A and B are shown apart, each in its own frame.
Chain A
C-alpha cells in the first residue's frame, strides 16, 4: 500500500475489475461508485487523491461530472477514461477541468504513468499549501475563508461582470488575494483563470502577496510632489525599514505610494488605512504611526 486513494467512477463491472486490478497491483487503495450520487457521497466522506472517471456512468455526462467535481475540489486531479474516445471530447474534457483524457484501451503502464504524473502535481500543490500554513498566513484551506468568499460572491449575485468588485471585497477581508481564492472565484463565476489572473495583476489595488494590518499610502500626486511628498515617503521608508510596495516583518504595516488621494489642498498627505494626515512634516511621522497597532 502506498497510502494514496483513488476513486473509480464506472458503471461497468468489467472496467471496474480491470482498472481496480491494475491500480491495486501498484499499491493504490481503490474505492468505486457506479452512480453519480454515490460518487459525490464518497467525495464528501473520505480523503481522496485522484478521481478516475469512465464515460459509461448511467444518465450522467462525464463532462458535466468533471466540471462539478472540479468546482468542488479544484485541486483533486481528475482523469477521464473514454470507452468511445474522440478528439473533440478530449479537448472538452481538459477544458472542463480534467487533468488527462485516456482511451480505455491504453496499455496499463501508460495508465500508471499518467496517474503518477497527476499525483505528483497534487503533491506539489500540497507542499505549497503547507508552506503557506507554516508562515501563519490566512489559509484558504480554512472552510471559513471559502464561505467568506462565497458570501462575497453572493452579494455580487455571482455575476462574472462583478469580478473587480468581488476581488476588491476579498482583498479587504483577507488583506490579499491568495492563489486559491483566485482559483475558487474563477470556478464559481465561470471565468477562465487566466482572465481572473490578468485582472488581479492589472489593477493596483490588488495584491497577490500578504499585506500588513495597516496600509500606509503616501500621496505622490502633483501637489504633494511639489510640496515634499517624496521626502515624506523616504522618511517612512527609513522609519519602517522597508521600501514602498513592501510589508514590515511583523506584518504591521504595508507601505505604498499612490497617485493623488484627492486632497491636494492639504499637501503633502499620507493616508493610514482610511485616516488622512495632511500638511505633515517628516518630524511628525513617528508619532502618527504610534497610533496604529
Chain B
C-alpha cells in the first residue's frame, strides 16, 4: 500500500496506482483527454499536470503516467497548475476550435478564446483510436504518420487499410468525435477524408458499417 497526500487529504492506494486513478477514486477532479481506462496511458495531452513534492523536490508531472509514491504530496489545483492547464487547453482549442469536448473543458476550467490564430483540425492527435485499434481490436489498421506539427492519424498511405475490420471501435473511443459510426450502403468512406471504399458486411448482424 502507498500512502500520500493529495490536496488536503491523505489517500491510501495499491502499489502501482497512478496519481490520476487515485484522484478519481477519491472524487478529486483532474482533467484529461488522452486517458482511457481501458488503454495504456501515454501522457500525451498534458492536461492532467499536477504538482508533486517528494523528498524535498517539487515539480510538475502528468498524473496519468505517474505512480503514486509513498510519502509524497500532490496538489491538483495550484495557481501554477492552473496556469499550465490554461495554456495547454488554449493550444488545443486553437488547433481544434470546433471540437465540443474542448469547449466543455474550457468552461469547466475557465478558458475562453485562445490568443492564437485558429486552425480547423478535427483530430486532437490524442492517439486513443490508434491505441484502441492495436490494444483492444488487434487489427492495427491505423497509426501515426509524419511527426511534430505535421503528425496525422492515418491508415498506411492514407488509403483504406486492408487490416481494418470496420469494427467501429475507433469511432466510439474518439473524444473529439472525429469519426462517426454510421450504417451505410455498401460504399462509404473510412477513416476521415480518404476516398470511397467498398465496406464490409458485419458477419454477425449482416449490416454494412463504416466509420467516417
Contacts and interface: CB of A to CB of B under 8 A. Distances in A.
User: Is chain B in direct contact with chain A in the complex (CB below 8 A)?
Assistant: yes
Contacts of A17: none
B144 A193 contact: no
- At the interface, is chain B mostly helix, strand, loop or mixed? loop
A94 B140 contact: no
B147 interface: yes
Given A91-B165, A99-B162, A192-B163, A197 B143 contact: yes
A173 to B, nearest CB: 21
Contacts of A101: 203
Given A95-B139, A113-B186, A194-B163, A100 B203 contact: no
Interface in A156-190: 179, 182
Interface stretch (B5-13, B95-103, B153-161, B172-180): B153-161
A255 interface: no
Interface of B: 138-147, 154-157, 161-163, 165, 186, 198, 200-201, 203-204
Interface string A78-105: 0000000101001100110101110100
A241 interface: no
B44 to A, nearest CB: 15
A260 interface: no
24 contacts: A85-B203, A87-B204, A91-B138, A94-B139, A95-B163, A95-B165, A101-B203, A103-B203, A113-B186, A117-B198, A121-B198, A179-B157, A182-B156, A192-B143, A192-B163, A193-B161, A194-B143, A195-B143, A197-B145, A198-B143, A198-B144, A198-B145, A201-B146, A202-B144
Contacts of B201: 110
Contacts of A97: 162
Interface of A: 85, 87, 90-91, 94-95, 97, 99-101, 103, 110, 113, 117, 120-121, 179, 182, 192-198, 201-202
Contact of B161 (A87, A120, A194): A194
Contact of A201 (B138, B145, B163, B200): B145
B129 to A, nearest CB: 12
A30 to B, nearest CB: 22
A194 B162 contact: no
Contacts of A195: 140, 143
Given A198-B145, A201-B146, A90 B203 contact: yes
Given A194-B155, A202-B147, 5 more contacts: A90-B203, A192-B143, A194-B140, A195-B143, A197-B154
A94 B156 CA distance: 16
A121 B145 CA distance: 23
B167 to A, nearest CB: 8
Contacts of A192: 140, 143, 163
B209 to A, nearest CB: 14
Contacts of B163: 94-95, 192-194
A200 B30 CA distance: 36
Nearest to B143: A194
Given A113-B186, A121-B198, A197 B203 contact: no
Q: Which of B138, B163, B200, B203 has the most CB of A within 10 A?
A: B203
Contact of A194 (B142, B146, B203): B142
B112 to A, nearest CB: 35
Nearest to A85: B203
A230 to B, nearest CB: 21
B169 to A, nearest CB: 12
Contacts of B204: 87
A97 B161 CA distance: 11
Contacts of A103: 203
A187 B187 CA distance: 28
Contact of A197 (B138, B139, B156, B200): B156
> Sorted from nearest, which 5 A-B pairs have the closest CB atoms?
A194-B143, A197-B156, A117-B198, A192-B140, A201-B145
